[in-house]
Structure 1
Amino acid sequence: MRIIIAEKPSVAQAIAGVIGGAKRSDGFIDCPQAKTRVTWCFGHLLEQAKPEEYVDGGKVLASHLPVIPTTWKLSPRDGGAGKQVKVIRDLLKEAAEVVNAGDADREGQLLVDEVLLFLNWKGKTSRLWLSSLDDASVRKALSGIKNNAAMRPVYESALARQRADWLMGMNCSIALSRNLQGCGVPGAWSVGRVQTPTLALLVDRKREIDHFKPRDFYQVIAYLDGGIRAVWQMPDDLVDEDGRLLDKAKADEVARQITDKAARVTKFTRKAGERAAPIPYTLGGLQKAASSRLGLSAKDTLAAAQELYEAKVTTYPRTDCPYLPVEMHGAAAGILKAIGGADVAGIDPARKHAAWNTAKVEAHHGLIPTGQSPDAASLSANAKRVFDLIRESYIRLFMPPEKFETREGLFEIDGLAFRAAARVVFDPGWTRLGAKDEDEGQEQGEAQGALPDLREGEVRTCERGEVVAKRTTPPKPYTDGTLIAAMTGVHRLVTDPKLKARLKETSGLGTEATRASMIEVLITREYAERRKKEIHPTDRGVQLIDMLRKVAPDLADPGYTALQEDALADIAAGRAALAAFMQVQVDATREFSRALLEGKLTDGQMVMHACPACGGSRCAQLKSKAGNVYHRCMDCQAAFGDDGGKPGKRFEDRPAGETAQKTSSAAGAGPKCPTCKGPTARMKASLARSGGR
């Protein structure tokens, strides 16, 4: 018997449908003719144990930090995960071979492999790598199943990410919260390896906007006969570091100086050019385009792309590679016909865009249609709109390039240099179809009015000079799309030149699959908020980044975290070892935990006393919401009443008062609680109502 384990039920259904003879059972699909059973996970069926499960007493004290597991524990998640783990366990008893059919990325590799390890499977294990769920792609993948052992580095990369996130997130969050609670700041605080530097991007952008001071600057335009518009090329000694002229008097002087003067052509050039269509979308590119053109959040765009993938109409969405394997080019004519692109003007299914480059394809390829006709009735509104973007992107690959000519003329007017430029489009090519994407990154050239053919030495007349006043504008708040782009290209925000150069080739903060969820985590935890399309940090978010930068600045440094992503990529590629990476994470966790636990995070001076319970010296004097003074130990968390400014009676040890006496008389004294050793009460009335259960 062969057991195939997919990441989710919809993928299992697609696989079983291709195998044939499928019969649905409880928790799996039986394909008896092929001696195959297809089962599934629901994403991660297992979760990491909480820190309190690794310490004595079941409660993490300051003295326990950092919690560094020597043997990592996993357990089924709440809900139906335990039942599905049991289904897989029972199937494994009859299995001769298991096929990992998790999604085609490192997380998909981990979530199936970890279940097999949890269930102590030691038999033959293979890997099914699916980039799309249409029948042809599934059939091709089934014929090319590989040994799962070859994917060990990918599994270890995902495991390293999971454990690093746990070490940093759990320990640093607890340490920060305990320190702040001791300083009278209530509540739990959260720190995350990717979440926190992403928040730092939002905070830094807010500071740039808040501290921005607009400045007026000026351009001088020369209007020449023949409709030519030329701009003054200002000498370096007259402009600021950004090349702007701030002296209006000088601008006015130059405008007067050049009026009615001869303008001699010193140079004229014409250059023909072509611009090919943009390459296919990565998930990040799709999220940015959907944000700017459709107003969708990164989370909603990912959900729509996932819906399209599971409907078999587009390929795997969580891709960070825009290139396509040449082997897929042969299917272009059929795909174009299926998506209504065969009749578009200028379309040529035989055209080979530079995107077709097998050598540049990594684990996944660009996001494109599969050729399956979408069932419009079954798709959500967002999925239909996102499909239109993907469809448009694919069709443009087979349209001719945009053809244009750039022209440039340099002029000398009364000893001053001026420049005119124009861009003339001869054939719009692919730009006929739809809007251009914001992130094409293509040079658009300048278009400053007409520019006829000129000869060097030719003289024109400057009919008038004009001063154009402009004002600097602040940077814009992040949207989902621009924040995803900043997380992807984090090297642009790093000032250290060596780090900048190294990060330029890495994937930035997080992965294509996780960036949208990081934004949602920040919003859920009230560190950020949406205002229409914009994302802003909250006061709480700003406070968190400011505190971290006082005592553990690396936690809020996008460059530091991006280097970790670089190291994870090295593990996945087999260039680095899991053990070495984890030792670095353990060392960093020790350092950060100590800094967050002991550092001065607020400006207030706390009153500390010896703790009567544990003997430590960090029993802080606090005030309750009602304004009453009390004391709590930052180490053992014991709480005490106030006795003349010092810790008095421990709350749990107070003699029974009026409320306790009423409870005791009504219900009767019970045995000591096995957890806290405090008194309990027998609730006879409650037991009677429940029939003794």
Structure 2
Amino acid sequence: MKVVIAEKPSVARDLARVMGAKEVKDGYIAGNGYAFTYAFGHLVQLCTPQAYGFHNWSVSNLPIIPNRFDLEVKKVRKDGKQIDDSGALKQIHIIKGLLEQADEIIVATDAGREGELIFRNIYYYLGSKVPFKRLWISSQTDKAIKEGFANLKEGQEYDSLYQSARSRSESDWLIGINATQAITLAAGNKGLLSLGRVQTPTLAMICSRYLENKDFKPQAFYKIQAGFEKDSISFKATSDKIEKKDVAEETVAKLNIGTQTKVVKVEAKETKEQPPLLFDLTSLQQDANKKYGYSADQTLSLAQTLYEKKVITYPRTGSRYIGEDVFEQVEALFQHLADTAEEGIAAISRNLIGAKLNKRSVDDKKVTDHHALLVTDEKPGPMLKEQQNIYNMIAKRMVESFSEVCLKDITTVTIDAEGVELIAKGTVIRQYGWRLSADQIEIPDDEKNTDEQDNENAQLPKLMAEEMLEILSLELSERFTKARPIHTEASLLKAMETSGKEIEDEEMRQAMKDCGLGTPATRAATIETLFQRDYIKRDKKKLIPTEKGLAVYNLVKDRSIAKVTLTGKWEQKLEEMRENKVSYEVFMKHIKDYTAKITKELLQLRISIAQEEIKPQQKGKIKCPKCQPGNIHLYDKVAQCDHYARGCDFKIWRTLNGVFLEEKEMKSLLEKGKTSVLKGVKTKEGQIVEAPLVFEDFKVNVG
């Protein structure tokens, strides 16, 4: 019997259907020589510190560096304790029984780093010796599944991918566990302070940009803009920046309406504007945030749903290219879009059938584990609006990427006005190419410099050197320098992709992706973790650090754990490990040495931490209802016991049943078991009422 292990039940059911297995059993589907079973994501995980005998948080225990990492079935927290997940225990027992009967295992977890780790952890935890092969596909269509099963890969081909995944998991454990305990203990009774290999430098980027923006002092500068006309075409020419007001006023005083000026130089050149590359996950998340305001996590979830509906290819890809073999199928996909897509996309798709397609996004050498995002030839069924938006974005980008270049004639004219140099630029589009594709819209980018657009005109008249022009309008404008904007999820994802380096060129960013923060598959989760830790909050699209987030940043900003470049180098080493260029042993020795070093550094913060208060937002004390000696601290979103390091895990949201509780009401709820009568309380049935909230058996109900 062949046992197929999928990442989750829905995928196992789909694979079983395609391969003709129909007999539904407890925890698997059997038939046609197969048993299709499944995990629930990470069914088996690294053991917690408690498994190694470290039950309490103590300086004397740190750093916690196991000689070897052991595995255990997934845990859940209940009544302040970590206990085995009963559902996970049952499923691992089912898988164990199936493997004991198996001749061969087919690994059908997600075709990527984390998917490989999910299977290998199960395999090694159970001590299985059954040989295994790998199903490696980039779409979930029936055709792709059948082809994948007909062309299974040898499992050993993915050993280096597993070592990379294992190293990522173990390094995150070492740095996260030790750094979090060290800074929490150093801070004393100030609640849990979480640090991590990727989350801390990401927080640092958000906080440093926020503080830079808030501390920015605008500087005035001045520009002279003169208006001209020839052949009934009006245009404007602009001076360079003039830093001082008196110099600007003296300069403009040389000019008047009617002043004769001379054309000094006319430069004309043709430029080719290449279409954008196809989407990978990160670029899709960036544009979805700009265009629709979707969070990175929301976009990933929507894309994953579309993948499971079989209408797009594998979403967690880090490549913006396809290979020549996939390119051969692109025209058929345009025929599919011509028949099924909304009219704007369908019309351009029809024009591309039989046309010479742009191959900028085609490069075998730049395709990683999975190619760029494409639609499949599966006809889309009914979708939610948000799913349709993401599907259309991917389809539109396909149409754009394979369309012709946009050809522009750009003319730059230099004018001498009484010794003042003025510049006018004109742009004429000779071939719209990809810019006509699928009603392509310029997505706003807050980081673009609008000052550079002052001297741009849609069109200039025909001008020649030595020609005289009369000034018809004259303006001296005062401008101000602008701060770099506060990060949005779009700009943060862009910064994470290149470890904070500001690189506009798409191809250069692709070359940098191996040393970015995290991976396309993990960046959304990192950002969500910062929200869950109450380190950041949203203000429309902006990411704003909370007081707690800023306080943590101020504590660690000068430490290596907050440095973007260090984490980027680790990510690069993990990618090199996948390519068999770096060994697990060498990488993990470095990580263990670093863990000991950063733990010592963070524990030494106890000397200065009193000056860096993690300020709870309250005046009085609220007794912890769980451990009694502890006090509850109020933060932006949560109320949490300050005895976390001593084993009390009590935490409660400040917004309960739709009502945000101020200090007085939270104190009443936790100490007396009841608030006063509150307005706007939402019941389980969804009704809005006036009622108190009641705290009983560590649960909150409407009184």
TM-score using structure 2 length:
0.79
Distance 1:482 1:27 in 2: 43
Contact 2:171 2:591 in 1 (8 A): yes
Pairwise CA distance, 1:49: 1.4
Residues 342/222 of structure 1: CA separation in 2 closer, same or farther (3 Å cut) = closer
Q: SS of 1:409's equivalent?
A: strand
What is the aligned partner in structure 2 of residue 166 from structure 1? Answer: 173
Contact 2:499 2:516 in 1 (8 A): yes
Contact 1:54 1:67 in 2 (8 A): no
Q: Does 1:528 align with 2:533?
A: no
Pairwise CA distance, 1:342: 5.7
Note the alpha carbon deviations across 1:641-685, whole angstroms, 9 max, x for none. xxxxxxxxxxxxxxxxxxxxxxxxxxxxxxxxxxxxxxxxxxxxx
Q: SS of 1:204's equivalent?
A: helix
Mapping 1:198-217, distance limit 5 Å:
198-217=202-221
Return the match for 2:146 from 122, 139, 156. 139
Distance 1:145 1:399 in 2: 35
Note the alpha carbon deviations across 1:113-138, whole angstroms, 9 max, x for none. 11111111123211111111011222
Contact 1:491 1:504 in 2 (8 A): no
Contact 2:335 2:349 in 1 (8 A): no
Return the match for 1:557 from 553, 556, 563. 563
Mapping 1:512-591, distance limit 5 Å:
512-549=520-557, 553-591=559-597
Larger Rg, first or second structure (1 or 2): 1
- More displaced 10-residue stretch of structure 1: 10-19 or 573-582: 10-19
Residues 128/342 of structure 1: CA separation in 2 closer, same or farther (3 Å cut) = farther
Distance 2:400 2:647 in 1: 63
Q: Does 1:71 align with 2:68?
A: yes
Question: Quick one: which amino acid aligns to residue 132 of structure 1?
Answer: S
Residues 566/83 of structure 1: CA separation in 2 closer, same or farther (3 Å cut) = same
Q: SS of 2:501's equivalent?
A: helix
Q: Does 1:419 align with 2:436?
A: no
What is the aligned partner in structure 2 of residue 648 from structure 1? Answer: none
Question: Quick one: which amino acid aligns to residue 489 of structure 2?
Answer: D
Question: Quick one: which amino acid aligns to residue 311 of structure 1?
Answer: K
Q: Does 1:404 align with 2:408?
A: yes
What is the aligned partner in structure 1 of residue 519 from structure 2? Answer: 511
Distance 1:288 1:121 in 2: 42
Q: SS of 2:557's equivalent?
A: helix
Contact 1:280 1:394 in 2 (8 A): yes
Note the alpha carbon deviations across 1:85-134, whole angstroms, 9 max, x for none. 11111111111111212212111111101111111112321111111101
What is the aligned partner in structure 2 of residue 389 from structure 1? Answer: 393
Distance 1:399 1:634 in 2: 57
Return the match for 1:330 from 328, 331, 334. 328
Contact 2:446 2:485 in 1 (8 A): no
Contact 1:406 1:445 in 2 (8 A): no
What is the aligned partner in structure 2 of residue 51 from structure 1? Answer: 49
Return the match for 2:88 from 81, 105, 113. 81
Question: Quick one: which amino acid aligns to residue 413 of structure 2?
Answer: G
Q: Does 1:362 align with 2:368?
A: yes
Distance 1:323 1:440 in 2: 27
- More displaced 10-residue stretch of structure 1: 390-399 or 404-413: 390-399
Contact 1:256 1:465 in 2 (8 A): no
Return the match for 1:352 from 325, 334, 357. 357
Pairwise CA distance, 1:41: 1.3
Distance 1:501 1:314 in 2: 24
Question: Quick one: which amino acid aligns to residue 520 of structure 2?
Answer: E
Contact 1:8 1:41 in 2 (8 A): yes
Pairwise CA distance, 1:578: 0.6
Residues 179/155 of structure 1: CA separation in 2 closer, same or farther (3 Å cut) = same
- More displaced 10-residue stretch of structure 1: 128-137 or 451-460: 451-460
Contact 2:167 2:584 in 1 (8 A): yes
Q: SS of 1:478's equivalent?
A: coil
Q: SS of 2:264's equivalent?
A: strand
Question: Quick one: which amino acid aligns to residue 352 of structure 1?
Answer: L
Pairwise CA distance, 1:480: 1.6
- More displaced 10-residue stretch of structure 1: 436-445 or 403-412: 436-445
Contact 2:312 2:375 in 1 (8 A): yes
Contact 2:272 2:405 in 1 (8 A): yes
Return the match for 2:479 from 459, 470, 479. 470
Pairwise CA distance, 1:446: 6.5
Contact 1:63 1:635 in 2 (8 A): no
TM-score using structure 1 length:
0.80
Note the alpha carbon deviations across 1:61-106, whole angstroms, 9 max, x for none. 2211111111212111124211111111111111111121221211
Question: Quick one: which amino acid aligns to residue 403 of structure 1?
Answer: L
- More displaced 10-residue stretch of structure 1: 459-468 or 292-301: 459-468
RMSD over equivalenced CA pairs, Å: 3.1
- More displaced 10-residue stretch of structure 1: 530-539 or 461-470: 461-470
Q: Does 1:436 align with 2:445?
A: no
Pairwise CA distance, 1:145: 1.1
Residues 148/437 of structure 1: CA separation in 2 closer, same or farther (3 Å cut) = farther
Return the match for 2:58 from 58, 61, 65. 61
Q: Does 1:455 align with 2:460?
A: no
Residues 64/360 of structure 1: CA separation in 2 closer, same or farther (3 Å cut) = same
Distance 1:389 1:501 in 2: 21
Q: SS of 2:376's equivalent?
A: coil
Question: Quick one: which amino acid aligns to residue 152 of structure 2?
Answer: I
Q: SS of 1:223's equivalent?
A: strand
Note the alpha carbon deviations across 1:146-175, whole angstroms, 9 max, x for none. 111111111000100000000000011111
Pairwise CA distance, 1:466: 1.9
Residues 294/546 of structure 1: CA separation in 2 closer, same or farther (3 Å cut) = same
Q: Does 1:120 align with 2:127?
A: yes
Q: SS of 2:13's equivalent?
A: helix
Pairwise CA distance, 1:490: 2.1
Structure 2 residues not aligned, in runs of 5+: 75-84, 338-344, 613-628, 634-641, 649-703
Contact 2:278 2:398 in 1 (8 A): yes
Note the alpha carbon deviations across 1:543-576, whole angstroms, 9 max, x for none. 11111236xx111111111111111111111110
Distance 2:561 2:47 in 1: 23
Distance 1:512 1:427 in 2: 35
Note the alpha carbon deviations across 1:380-402, whole angstroms, 9 max, x for none. 33212111111111222343333
Structure 1 residues not aligned, in runs of 5+: 235-243, 495-499, 607-622, 639-693
Distance 2:303 2:209 in 1: 29
Question: Quick one: which amino acid aligns to residue 286 of structure 2?
Answer: K
Mapping 1:622-633, distance limit 5 Å:
625=631
Q: SS of 2:441's equivalent?
A: coil
Residues 79/229 of structure 1: CA separation in 2 closer, same or farther (3 Å cut) = farther
Question: Quick one: which amino acid aligns to residue 133 of structure 2?
Answer: S
Contact 2:192 2:645 in 1 (8 A): no
Q: SS of 2:471's equivalent?
A: strand
Distance 1:409 1:127 in 2: 62
Distance 1:516 1:384 in 2: 20
Distance 2:631 2:645 in 1: 22
Contact 1:205 1:475 in 2 (8 A): yes
Question: Quick one: which amino acid aligns to residue 373 of structure 2?
Answer: L
Q: SS of 1:586's equivalent?
A: helix
Aligned positions, number: 594
Residues 491/530 of structure 1: CA separation in 2 closer, same or farther (3 Å cut) = closer
Pairwise CA distance, 1:214: 1.6
Distance 2:48 2:222 in 1: 61
- More displaced 10-residue stretch of structure 1: 163-172 or 359-368: 359-368
Distance 1:37 1:92 in 2: 10
Note the alpha carbon deviations across 1:23-64, whole angstroms, 9 max, x for none. 3222122132xx2222211111012211122136x3342211
